[in-house]
Amino acid sequence: MIPLDAPALPARLTLDALAEHLDPGALPTVEVQSLDMGYYLVRLHHAGGDTLLVGDDGETRRFTGTQWISRALAPLGLTHGILTWADVTDEMVGLPEGPAIKPAARLAHGTRIAFMTQG
C-alpha cells in the first residue's frame, strides 16, 4: 500500500494552482495514467482522495508524452510517479466491460517512473 500522507488538495488543479498548494514536506503520490492514442493524464493522490491536473480552461490536461509531464512536475519538486493504464474494454472483439479498477490497485500494480528530463 502506498502511503498518502500529503494534505488534501482540491479535486481539480492547474499547474500554477498546484505549485501554490504543494507542501514540500508531504508531497502527493503522482499517478501518470496512460490512455489509448498516446495520451497521458496526471492524478495526484493524497489524504483527501485524488486530484486531476487540468488546463487553464478547466478541462483535463492531456500530455502527449511522459517527458512533458516530467518538464511540468519536476520543477515543482515532484521527482517520480507511478505509470498506470486505463481500464480496457473492447466491444469489437466482445470483451465485456468489467468492474472499474480501484485507484489503490492501479497504484499498487503500476510502474514507478522518474521525472528527469535532459536537454
Instruction: Let me know if residue 2 belongs to a domain.
Output: no
Report pLDDT digits (tens) over 45-71.
998 889 999 999 999 999 999 999 999
In this prediction, residue 118 carries a pLDDT of 62
Type of residue found at 46:
H
1 within a domain of the structure (yes/no): no
Helix count (H) and strand count (E) of the chain? 3, 6
Write out the three cell numbers for 55. Answer: 488546463
Q: Is residue 49 part of a domain?
A: yes
Predicted confidence at residue 117, as pLDDT, reads 65
Closest CA to 70 of 19, 24, 32, 26: 32
Residue range of the domain that includes 35: 12-114
pTM of the entire predicted model: 0.85
Is there a domain that residue 102 lies in? Answer: yes
Kindly report, residue by residue over 14-38, the tens digit of the pLDDT: 999 999 999 989 999 999 999 877 8
Residue 42 lies in a domain: yes
Would residue 45 count as lying in a domain?
yes
Task: Give the total number of structural domains in the chain.
Answer: 1
Is residue 6 in some structural domain? no
